[in-house]
Every structure is written in C-alpha cells, then in structure tokens.
Structure 1
Amino acid sequence: MQKLLASLALSFLSTSQLWAQTTPEPVRPTAYTFTRGLVALTGSRYGREAIYTDPLAYRLYSGTLTAPAEGAAFGTDDQGRAITWMAVAADSLGRLRLRGNNRGNGGAPAGPGVVAGSLRGGIGGGGGYTYLTYPSSREQMALLTIKGNSNVYVNGELHMGDAYNMGYLHIPVKLRKGINELYVRGIMITATLDFPNKPTLLSTDDPTLPSIRLGESNNALQGALVVINASTKPLTDLQLVSKLAGKSQTTTLPDIPPLSSRKVAFGFDGSGVTEKGPHSTELSLIQKGKMLDAGRITVEAVPPGASYSQTFVSRIDGSLQYYAVTPQSSVNTASSALFLSMHGAGVEASGQARAYKAKDWGNLVAATNRRPRGFNWEDWGRIDALEVLAIARNQFKPNPQHIYLTGHSMGGHGTWFLGATYPDKWAAIAPCAGYPTLKEYGSADGVIPDTSSNPLEQMLLRSGNQSDVLKLTANYKPLGVYIFHGDADRTVPVTYARQMRKLLGQSQPDMSYYEYPGGSHWFGDHSVDWKPLFDFFKWHQISADSAVNAIDFTTANPGISSAYRWASIEQQTQPLLYSRIQLTRQRSSITGTTSNVSLLKLALNEFGAKTLVTITLDGTSALTYTTASAQDTVFLHRESGQWVQTKQPDTWQKGPHRNGTFKDAFNNRMVFVYGTKGTKDENDWNIQKARYDAETWLYRGNGAVDIIADTEFSMTSYADRGVVLFGNATNNAAWQALLADCPIQVERNRIKAGSQQWQGDDLGAYFVWPIKGSKTASVAVIGGTGLKGMKAASANQYFAGASGFPDFMIFGLDMVRDGSKGVRMAGFYNNNWQLAPEHYVVNGQMRGSN
C-alpha cells in the first residue's frame, strides 16, 4: 500500500517535491499538517543592524534558486563544506526536525544571549531553511500557521514567522492550483494549513483586554482582537457587536485589506458584571446587517484592591495596548509614590504586576513593551514605557519627587537603559537580574555589533549608539541605584551585575548592591518584590529643579533624549555621536563644557526677570543675556568655535521633535502607502511588502496599521501622521506630494542622492524625510529601482529592538550576498536636512571627517 501511494504521488510531484509532500490533497480539507520536508543549513545574518545577508534569499531574488531535492547541493559554508538538502520528518510533537547532531547554527555552541529561536535558524546568525510543498487541486484560500520560524516565502511572497512559538499568527494565503512552494526560514518547525469555510474570521486567541474592576462603572471598556480577511477583496463597512452580562455595544471597525489581518479595538459594557472571576463575552462580526463570524472571549473581573489590567490607545499607531497595576493598599493615597516596573522576555505585564504585593505608600504600574518579547524596552518599547508613565502620573497623581523604576531580566536591561536615557524622571532605579547592553548580551535578535574598521559600517553602527548604556553611565550620578541579582543565575549571569558594580564603583555616589545567595534567574516573587529594594526607594526623592545647579548629561540622539533639567541638547555637530554637557549654574552665571553640541537651549527661570546672566562655555568668550521674564529661555549656537546667541530654530530643522533616523517615521499613527502605478510585479511587491511589515508589526508590536493605496493618500486626510511609503517615484503616486524636495530620488532604474547617482534595476533604499507642513511627522521610504532592488529591501529587521538604521541607506541586491560591500551609500542629513559630505560614506570611502 505504501508503494502504491508513493507511485501515485510521483505521478503528480517532481522528485524534489516528493520529500516535502507525499499525500494528495483530500477533498474539501479542513486542515493539513506538514509531516515531511527538506532542510538546508544555508546560514543567514539577520540581527540588530541595517545590513543583512541570506544566501537563499539572494538566489530567490536573483532568480538563480534551483528546486531542492534530497542530497542536492545548495552551496558551501564559510569553511568550504557542502551544504545539502536533507530530508526531515515530523516527530511525536509534530516538529519537522533533523535527526542526529545537526543543529541550526552549524553546531556552534549557543552563547548566553542566544535563545532557542536563534538555533532554529531565524532571527540571529546561522540556521537554515525548511522546504515544504503542498499540491492543491484548485486555487483556494488557506490559513498558514507555522511555529518556530522567522519568516516564510509562500510561492515567493514573504510573510512573517512565529519565532517565539506563540501560536497565534495565522496568515491568510492564496494557494494556486498545482504545487505550492514554501521556503521557511527556520528549522525544527511545525506547519499547518487550515481551510476555513468562510472568508472572514474572528481570531480570539490573541486578545488585548482590560480587567473589569468591581465597584467601578465599567460601562465603556475597550478590548482588541484580530480580524482575518482571507479573501481577495477588502473588508469594509464592518461592525463588531459585543454582549456581556446582558449589556451590548456596537463598534465600527476600520477597513481590512485583502489577504491580511488586523487587530481591531472594540467597546464592551461590563457594568452588568457583579462577581469576580472569568466572564464570557459574545462577539459578532457584522457587515451591512449580515453576520460574518462569531466568537467568544473571556474577561476577568477583579475585586477592589486586586491587581488589574487597563487598556489605552497608543499614539504610536492608534492601536489598543494595556498596562497592569498593583494598586496601593493604603486608603490614604495623597502624595503617593509611583513604581514603574518592566517585565522580562516572555512575561506579560499582568503577571509582572501580580508578582508584587501591594505597597502602602505607592502604586505599581507595569508597562508591556508592546509584547512579552517586543523590543527589549528600546525603540517602541521605550515609547510604550513613557506612554504608560504619563498615563499613570495623570491617573494616580503621585508625588512628582517619588517616581521609581525597576524591572527584571530584559526589564532589568530596560531599567538600565531608561535610567540612563531619562535620568531626571526617576528618584532611584533598581535593575533585577538585568544585563546592561545588547552589545554584550543580545538575546533573541542577537547582539548589537560593536566596532568595525570599515568606515561605512562605522556609519551604520552609529545609529545604535543610544542603546549603549555603558557610554551613558555618567547619567546615573543623580540617581540612587540598587543592583539586585541571584548569584547562581544561569540565564543572565551575575557577571553583568558585577560588571556594573565595578564600572559605577568609582563614580556613582549613591549605589547599593546585593547578590541573593543561591538565587537562580527567578527564585520566587522576591526576585522583584524585594523589601530592601523598596526600602532603598523610600529613602530617595527627585530633587526640585531649583536645587540642581550642576548638570552632567550625555545623549547619542536628541530625538530620543535631549534634556536634563534646565539644559537641552537641541542639535548635534556630528549626528548620533555622543554629545555631552557639563554645566554649573550660579547666582548670575552658567559655566561649563560641551562636546558634540551645535545648538544648546538653557532654561533661565531660576534667575527671575530682568536679570543679567553671564554664560561661558568651552573657554570661549563670555555671553551676557538679560532675562525678559521669569520663564525665559535662551538658545546658543556654536559657530566657528564660538558660542553665539541665536533664535529658536524653525521646526523644519532637526531637533528633539524630529531628529531623523529611518525608524522615526514608524510613529505618529503611521500609515503604510503602497504604489499601484508600476508593472504588475512591482505593484505586487509593494502591497506584499506592506502586508509583510504589517504582519510583523502585529506579531512583534501588538500593533495595527492602516494600509492604503497611493491613490487613496492625501496630505490633508493624513496630516501629521507618519507615512511609510513602499515603491519609488515611478510606481507610487504619493511620492510627489511627500518627497518632491528630497535630495534622494528613487525611480525605475536609477537612484540619485545629491551628486551621487547609480543605475540599474537591482538597487534598494531605506531613507527618511520630514513631511512638509508637519512639525513632527516623517515619511520613510522602502523601495528600489526595479524588482530585484525592491526585493533586496524586503527584510525588516528595523523592527528588531535597538537595531540601528541611519537617515538613509542605498544598497544593491549584492548586499544580500556580500554584506556591507553591497552598500552604496549611508549616513545622515545635517541639521537642515541637507546632504553634507562629512555626514555620509560612499562606497566605503569617507567623504569627510567622522
């Protein structure tokens, strides 16, 4: 019988496809599990940097990838050994895994920052691809669910992967009649296809929900869940009806593009709930009075005083996020403290909050980092923490002198990072089991590269300088620092705590350190809820600005962190190199030194009105200024080595409000705009890339984003919103409105950047540009000169936490094969958004001083 089945399969499949699929598609299937495939340890380099390499993707993009077959050679590795396609079969858990000693990183041992996801070949270096096929008897829609991968090409179209095995990423795909090919970046995966009997689905396995707090009104709560459009037409005119304890609410939903998913917010009324515990909520998806799908979710009701979750609308993308609270136990909350706690990788904020017993002197609030792994508390995780901090300050009205920061593991890193980045926001910080920097520890996306002798790579590495807290340790001096670590921690070794104790020991005036004897990475709730830690907090308070007359502050990016107290670094001389100010304020003067500062703002409110103030910086000639009011501010600009008074710069210039780097546009309720004016292949790539980035944003950032065609975009309708534009000037009709005055122009077969120009269809680009008429919003371009160049821009490791991307980067398809050798130009605009030779590198040669 087995031979007969194999013979029948051979009549339909090629030899290369036999290992990937030997069972014909059943009639009207409901689900299919892949049980056989092929694996090649091709290697790849995706991480916390702008450059990526991927031998298989290069061959796929260049049209040179040959059909896999068992035993066939793919190529050779960096040691000259043959890479071959090897057969894999599912184990008892359904995982397609290699037998024996084969490993996804070529057998190299995993370092302390490498997790299982890296060994499966996805996010970090090494790894490989799994090849699967599915023979479909007809063209049809399906939901693809893969776990343990970083991404997947389905018939050439790139989709996000479930690197962390969460199980809630269900990708709608259109299968063609005949053989469908899947190249899955990752090994030891599980993969299934589901064939739903309806094109529109409510997915209830990844909700974002608040708690019902008994004793509160609960009549206007908001939750969010995923709606899947498994059809080739956009979903419009949608409504979601919720029913809970006899109360109904109807919410109008945004449009959902074809073959995509979106997490949508909906309202529900919990005022009918009177008992604690789980409560089932009915959900109905309606379109013009017709039921499309229905489902249920469970909402938890908690009694007064218990930890709870609360949702809010994020200004990053307009999506619904949540934070968790362990409320103060004391009835008297006047002048209470506020503790901001940050969770570790894989931990929910709700679980983080529950790890703390209620304090009688303050409320504890746990932010989410956008996901249990999210962004390592950098990038959008950093913004999430700041959003929650602002909400908590408004909600609880704490004593502004009693704000504290703590966190565990990845949240310990977040504590080090946010403590150094915003030292005037905290009275004290307490990293628990934390690592200081992603340059050393790394985690799932790998480490941040440290140094390079290549000028172009040096330029690219600058973009991540803000993440290196070891360069920012002087910023801790005004804070109390409590370092807490288990001495038997094998996940984040105690050597990281000892490193920081040694580094701060000579300079930190206020530090306490404790190693918990025998403590592993987590040794119970007291891994974070440690009484001596909170006692240390109680002894500390934030000084009033009027009492702080000495400033020592360093930043790498004023767009992330510009100010400490009464001084602000508004612009830099060299973009994203470290800038430092050391200032002393006396009765009628300010003196001090600066480094890499072009524009400085000083608040003079402590001097009073009509006061003559003398300002002496860097040993240059003194400036005198008479304050016009008790709330006066002065701007100083460095010109030819001298400091001169200047007026406040126009908002068009770079500054804390908008300082660039490519990722800056992924904010301000961003909208994805794909081009429709190119060839069919170009248009297909534009929308497919927009969908891929939206899938990634949903998976990594619990986010939602509007995806629109270029013909739908207008400056008026999307005013002050960030824009991510897919395509080029030839094929995206929104280009002219957004980028007509940009010195970088990309069109079919040509890129021009100032005086530089490149020809061909294989060039790609990432760059940012401020949007005219907006004081804050930017547009990011992801595109190329032709299909090869556009495909070279397919990777989106800009969503990896702390990955460094400059203002602009122009590269060829050869970058996917050769790394930095394939980058044509990279760097930063000057403070007037102009291309200046001293701020960029062309073809590996510096055009000015670094």
Structure 2
Amino acid sequence: MHRSLCSRFVPALAFFALLVSAPANLSAQDAPPADRKKLEAELQELQQQIQTLKQNPQIERSLLADVEIYAKAAEWILRHKEFYKPQYVKETYQVLETGRQRASQLAAGKPEWTDPKGTVLFGYYSKIDGSVQPYALTFPADFKQKSSQRWPLHVELHGRGGRRNEVFFIMHPNGRGPRKDHDWLHLDPFGRTDNGWRWSGEVDVHEAIADVKKRYLIDKQRITLRGFSMGGAGAWHLGLHYPSEWCGVGPGAGFVDFYQYQNHKEKLPPYQDKTLHIYDSIDYALNAADVPVVTYGGGKDKQLVSSTRMVEKAKELDIKIPLYISPEAAHQSRMPAYQDFLAQLLKISKEGRPAWPGRKQIRFITYTPKFNECEWLNIEELDQMYEPTTVEGGLDEESGNLELTTDNVAALSIARDIAPKVELDGTLLPLESAASGLLPQVYFVKGNSGWDVLKYDDSKAFIENSNLRKRRNLQGPIDDAFTLPFVCVKGTGTPWTPEQQAWSQSVLSLFEKEFDKWLRGKVPVITDKEVTDQTIADKNLILFGDPGSNALIAKIVEDLPIQWSNDQITVNGKTYDTKDHGVALIYPNPLNPTRYVVINSGHTMHEKDFRASNSWLFPKLGDIAVIKFKENKDGNFENETVWAELFDSNWELP
C-alpha cells in the first residue's frame, strides 16, 4: 500500500523527530600484515604499469583515468587503513587485478571496457586538484555505441555509507545492469565519498556528467537527478540550486536545512548563520517552479519530514511537489511508493526540458552569486549577500517582451534573443538591439534611479569587474576556493614571526591530511619559487606563511584588507600580536582578480564535522577571521576564533 500526496500531508508526520546522523564508526582498520605486504607489492606493480602508459603520448588521457582509478582505490584504502570488513581485503585484490588487466589491454591498444555492457567503471581527472575520481555508468541492454541516438541520462546520488571508499564503490556501484526495462544511461557519481554532495563533492557530479557527455551522445534536455537519504539531500540541493540543468528532480528523505535537522536551538554566530543559506535547500523551494520535482518516502521514516516540509513550503508558494508515501516503510530507498515515484520521473523524462529558449516563465531565488543561473537569465550581483534574491516573470504573449520583477538584485544578464525588449521592475529597456547586438548576453545594472542597460564598451568593462564586486566563483566564503582549481603555496624565505610560521604550517598539514581522507585527493603544494604566471592565471592561490617567509604574500599584502608588520596584524581597526594570532581570509587575488587568494586556511570544516553529520559541513570562518593559536607540548595547535566576518558585495567589511 502507498498513497500519493501532491500538496498536503498527514499532519501526524510533522511531529516526527528528525534523524540526526550518528558519528561514523571510521576508526582505522588495517589489513592483516601478510595481505598488506602483498597488496602494496601489487599496487606498486600497477603504478609502474600506469607510469609506462603515461609516457605514451598516443594514449588518451580519459583511458588512463579509467585505469588509474583502480590504483587510486588501492592506494587510499591502504594509506587510511579502511579495511572495515574482511571482504575489503579480498575486494582490494580484485580491484588491483582489474586495474592490471585494464593496463595490459590499454598497452596492447585493446581497451575492452570501452565496448560497454552492463555497469562499467570510468574515471576522470578533476579540475580542482588533478585527482582521479571514479564513477559508474550502467548501459541499457540494447545500447549501441555507434548509433546516432542521443540517450537520456539518469544521475543517482548515493546515500551515506559510513564505510564507503573507492574500493567499496568500485565493487558495489548502485547500477545493476544490463537492464531491459529502461532506455537511459544511469550515472552513479562517487562524490568523493560521504560529504553530503557539498563543496568538491558537489563539483564531482558536474564533472562526472561532463565526462559522460564527452564519451557518449547524451540528450541534454533529458537529464534526471535523483537520490535517497544523503543522496536525497544532494538531490534537493543540486536540483534546486541548478534548476536549468535537469528535466526532473527526485529526492527521497535526506535533510533540507541545518537547524531543524540537527535540532540545534542556539543560533550560530552571524558569519556562520548567514552561510547556511548556501546549502539549506528549503530556502530554494521557489526554484521548484523552474524544474519538476517529485519526492517519496516511508511513513515510518523520520527523514520523511524533509519531504513534507518541502511540499508545504512549495505549497505556500503555489507550487506543487508530488509526494509518494509507503505508510509502513521505514528508511529504505526501495519501497512500494518508489515505483510510482519513478514512473512519474520517467514520464517527466520522456517530455524532457523545453527546447531553447527553455521555460518562458521563471520564478528564481538565490542567496549567493554562486547559484545564479535560471534558463536565459543570470543574476550577476546581489545588493546584500545571503539575503533572498529573486527574479520572477517571463515572456508576455501579447507584447512579445519580457516582464520581470526583481528583489535584492544589483545586476543581471539576459540572453539577447529571448525578446525584443525587457521591462525590469516597470522600466522598459532594449534587449535584442542592446550593446550594438554584439554580445550574446545583455547586461543590466541597477542604479539609484532604476535599471540601466549597458552599452557594448560598458558591458566589456562590467565583465572585467574592475570594481571587485562579488560575482559567481568570486563571492567567498573561504571554502569556496576549493571548489575550483587551486594550489597551496609554501614560502621559502625567512619568517617574520617563527611562531606564526609554525602555526601556518600546522594549518597546511591539517588541510592536507583532512582533504586526503575526507575529500579523496592530494592537496597540490608548491613553493613560492615555483609559482609561474600560468599558475596565477589558472588557479586560486592558497598562501601559507607571512610576508617574510612567503614571497607571494609579500607581493600582495598591501592590496589586502589588513595591515601586516613584523610583529602585528591589524584587522578591522584592531591589532593582534603575530606570536599568538593569525589571520585566515579569502579575497580576489590582486595579481589576478578573476581568481581567489586565500591566506593561511584550508577548508574551515574539520574531521569532527565530517564524522558527525553532513549538515555540519558549512563554512566556519566566513570570509575573514582572526585566530588565536597555542602550540601544545606535542606540537599540535589549539585554535580559537576571536573574530570573524563576511565581506559585503563590494568585498568590504560591513
């Protein structure tokens, strides 16, 4: 038995307490000594095969990634001692054997896995850190690679496994193929393991989809996103933050905010509380008007309340989200209601997204320029960061013009060929003919007297962002730097303050350790002498040290919103002793304002957050923070945040 609820739910369900993830039991568990020795030897053999393959310029990089994911899986499980069950040892042997087989096939020019059948593991190299990341792709039974047919793509986000690593993922992908009952390709991203599909875990979904598109003909109008539990939280997030990427979104269970999910009564400090708007999906419910959303769950599942809350929030906005419930089911992804849920998603998939120009009417909300695109419109700048920012309206059938109302929008761009003119908050402006018809996007800026359309030269100047306004991928907070290509830079000079140098190196070491374990990549690290013009052009620079030790910090320090002398740092008018205080900040890089510079910080979430619950993976230091540090006898540091803040839309302190 199951039932469907489109705009209301059983009141009793509202009283269910939210399920808070218990700390993951992830204590290190090693393989038996004899197995470890043998596995290390087999890994070394595979790594040598890969190095030989890399020396052959004729071998495609994507095929190398398909081999290297197996070596990476074995390397990480060995280094982090993640043999949580005896079967992990056996499966690591199997992973290494498959890796050696693929390496041999590739060396012989006959990579058999490229003739896809059933579920196949592929890999790609991430733009963020250069790491190789796996994903699984399941093919229909009648898949024909050389056909001109474009295939729908279903992206399914996995739940929190607690003991998931690359070996487990490779041996147990969600896909079960070949399947005769579906006509789509089924993508299972790895998501850099269990991080709630946030930060580089979020980027993994986009990068995996992009890699699939490079390999196979995908119908871009028929990409469906779904997931359950942690995968449901990810589907709520990715589905509503990127509404124009999917033809349909199907979350089950999961969580949609921090405070209620964690039953957290005490309000966080403002620099943390505001940034909850980055990932709290319930704040983005309005975007369900721009992409069909269907949800489901079990009547006895405490996480069902996430679905019911979203249904009610959407109803308040006059948006319907169908909800399918199996009354007797608990927290399980496959239940009777799942079949109706999937049938509805398949119906949506068959219809697909409307062809260009897409949806003619939109209702779009964001809280940050990071998530700024809906159909033919981009919100370029916000008046107030982390406040509700909306654009609603669309094509008027009678006049043929766009009619849009905005709130908290400072600048936006619109595809020029959507309409002849646009009426923004009552002001009629040219669109198709604007900027001499030379740019695909037309830019509009709001001034004291209302909206202005930018001419060609003004548009070019706006794009260059010489005024350093917060824009997409240049809006902070600190953690955003690690969703983009980055490199950490150590100094080679003489530090002004030895104590601060020791602290900054401890911050880098901790970042390297935690990123490797929890986000499954090696942090790229170079010295200040190795930084080139190309490095500055291509990557966010994460600088460690002080102006004495790090030549890059010395070069830019006068352009940062702080004052730094041999023994003091002044931030927001207050001076701190560098012997026991440091500053962590993110800012447009003065050497390349289209990229970030970060000073003395890696991710601001740490191991306790990853172990506790994915809902804790929100920014902890805002855009800028002063840290009081103390070195213990064991060489580790205690850190206390004594002040932190978020820059406004002009990269200035409020």
- The whole-number CA distance in structure 1 between the counterparts of 2:104 and 2:408 is 52
1:330/1:438 Cα in 2 relative to 1: closer, same or farther (>3 Å)? farther
- Match of residue 505, structure 2, among 680, 687, 690: 687
CA contact (8 A) 2:500 2:579 kept: no
Q: How does 1:101-180 map to 2 (within 5 A)?
A: 112-117=19-24, 164-165=26-27, 167=29
Higher helix share: 2
- C-alpha displacement at 1:711, in angstroms? 4.3
Where 2:282 maps in the other structure, the secondary structure is helix
1:243, 1:268 within 8 Å by CA — same for their partners in 2? no
Amino acid in the other structure paired with 2:624: F
| Structure having the higher Rg | 1
TM-score, scaled relative to structure 1: 0.59
1:717 to partner: Cα distance: 4.8
Aligned residue number for residue 90 of structure 2: none
The structural deviation recorded for 1:421 is 0.1
Equivalent positions of 1:185-584 (< 5 A) are 220=64, 221-223=66-68, 224-225=71-72, 226=75, 269-270=105-106, 304-331=116-143, 334-346=149-161, 350=170, 351-355=172-176, 358=179, 359-371=181-193, 373=194, 375-442=195-262, 451=267, 457-489=269-301, 492-507=302-317, 509-522=319-332, 531-546=342-357, 548-558=359-369, 560-584=370-394
> Is the aligned partner of 1:824 residue 2:636?
no
Between the aligned partners of 1:272 and 1:632, the Cα distance in structure 2 is: 47
Give the superposition deviation at 1:111.
7.0
Q: Which amino acid aligns with 1:764?
A: G
Secondary structure, counterpart of 2:508 in structure 1: helix
Encode CA deviations 1:26-64: one digit per residue, 9 max, x unaligned: xxxxxxxxxxxxxxxxxxxxxxxxxxxxxxxxxxxxxxx
Counterparts of 1:788-827 in structure 2, within 5 Å, are 801-813=617-629, 823-827=642-646
Deviates more, 1:566-575 or 1:508-517: 508-517
**1:616 aligned onto 2:423:** yes
Work out the CA distance in 2 between the residues paired with 1:751 and 1:311.
45
Q: Is the 8 A contact 2:153 2:223 kept in 1?
A: yes
Q: Could you tell me how far 1:698 is from its partner in structure 2?
A: 0.8
- Write the distance in 1 (CA, Å) between the matches of 2:266 and 2:115: 49
Q: Are 1:642 and 2:450 an aligned pair?
A: yes
Offset from partner CA, 1:135-154 (integer Å, 9 cap, x none): xxxxxxxxxxxxx5xxxxxx
- Residue 688 of structure 1 and its aligned partner are, at CA, apart by 3.5
1:798-839 deviation digits (Å, cap 9, x = unpaired):
98633354221224459x9xx9996334121433x3x24xx3
After superposition, the Cα gap between the structure-2 partners of 1:303 and 1:488, relative to the gap in structure 1 and judged at 3 Å, is: farther
- Looking at structure 2, the residues matched to 603 and 451 of structure 1 have their Cα atoms a distance apart, in angstroms, of 41
Return the offset for 1:513.
1.9
Residue matched to 2:415: 603
Decide whether aligned partners of structure 1 residues 798 and 388 sit closer, same or farther in structure 2, where only a CA change above 3 A counts.
Answer: same
> What residue is the counterpart of 1:704 in the other structure?
522
Any conservation in 1 of the 2:568–2:575 contact (CA below 8 Å)?
yes
Amino acid at match of 1:665: A
SS at match of 2:452: strand
More strand as a share of residues = 1
Matched, 1:764 2:609: no
Q: Distance in 2 between matches of 1:525 and 1:272?
A: 46
Q: State the alpha-carbon separation in 1 of the partners of residues 41 and 206 from structure 2.
A: 31
Letter in 2 for 1:662: I
C-alpha contact (below 8 Å) 1:591/1:616 kept by paired residues = yes
- CA deviations on 1:579-631 (whole Å, 9 max, x unpaired) are 11113233453322211111111212133xxx5x2x33334x44345343396
**Cα offset, 1:518, TM superposition:** 2.5
Q: Residues 246 and 435 of structure 1: is their aligned pair in 2 closer, same or farther, counting only changes over 3 Å?
A: closer
What is the CA–CA distance in structure 1 between the aligned matches of 2:366 and 2:239, rounded to whole Å? 12
Cα 1:323–1:700 shift into 2, 3 Å: same
**Structure-2 change in CA distance of 1:449 and 1:320 (3 Å):** farther
* Rounded Cα–Cα distance in structure 2 between residues aligned with 1:219 and 1:385: 19
Higher normalized contact order (CA 8 Å, seq sep 6+, divided by chain length): 2
Gaps of 5+ in 1: 1-109, 118-147, 149-163, 171-191, 211-215, 231-241, 250-266, 277-300, 784-789, 840-850
CA distance in 1, matches of 2:285, 2:101: 53
1:321-345 residue CA offsets vs partner (Å, 9 max, x unmatched) = 0111111223366132111110001
CA change 1:680–1:794 in 2 (3 A) is farther
Q: What is aligned with 2:568?
A: 750
Q: Partner letter of residue 119 of structure 2?
A: S
Structure 2: segments with no counterpart, 5+ residues: 1-16, 51-58, 81-94, 611-615, 633-637
Query: Following the alignment from structure 2 to structure 1, what is the Cα–Cα distance between the partners of residues 99 and 607?
Result: 45
Distance 1:167 1:774 in 2: 45
**CA deviation vs aligned residue, 1:666-699 (integer Å, no higher than 9, x gap):** 2443222234522655444433332221111010
8 Å contact kept, 1:462–1:804: no
Which SS does the other structure have where 1:545 is aligned? coil
Q: Distance in 2 between matches of 1:246 and 1:572?
A: 48
User: Aligned pair 1:727/2:545, yes or no?
Assistant: yes
State the secondary structure of the residue aligned to 2:224: strand
- Counterpart contact for 1:657–1:775, Cα < 8 Å: no
1:700 Cα shift?
0.6
After superposition, give the CA deviation of every residue in 1:88-144 in whole Å (9 maximum; x if it has no partner): xxxxxxxxxxxxxxxxxxxxxx97213134xxxxxxxxxxxxxxxxxxxxxxxxxxx
CA deviation after TM superposition for structure 1 residue 270, in Å: 4.8
Paired AA for residue 742 in structure 1: L
The AA in structure 2 aligned to 1:462 is K
Cα distance, 1:543–1:246 mapped onto 2, change above 3 Å: closer
Secondary structure in 1 aligned to 2:130? coil
Q: Tell me, yes or no, if the aligned pair for 2:384 and 2:648 is still in contact at 8 Å.
A: no
Q: CA RMSD in A?
A: 4.3
- Contact kept? 1:767, 1:807, Cα under 8 Å: yes
2:529, 2:481 → 1: CA distance?
A: 20
Contact 1:658 1:777 in 2 (8 A): yes
| Distance change (3 Å), C-alpha of 1:476 and 1:534 | closer
- The superposition leaves residues 457-491 of structure 1 with CA deviations (integer Å, 9 ceiling, x where unpaired) of 224321221212111111011322221112233xx
* One-letter code aligned to 2:211: I
Shift of 1:567: 1.3
Structure 2: distance between partners of 1:412 and 1:400: 22
1:500 positional shift = 2.5
Q: Which amino acid is 1:616 matched to?
A: E
Structure 1 residue identity aligned to 2:157: M
Residues 1:479 and 1:701: Cα distance change in structure 2 (over 3 Å): same
Could you tell me the TM-score, scaled by structure 2's length?
0.75
- Residue identity matched to 1:513: L
Letter matched to residue 664 of structure 1: D
Deviations 1:243-280 (A, max 9, x none): 9799899xxxxxxxxxxxxxxxxx7645669999xxxx
Identity, % of aligned pairs? Answer: 20
Cα shift at 1:713: 3.7
Secondary structure, in 3 states, of the residue corresponding to 1:116?
coil
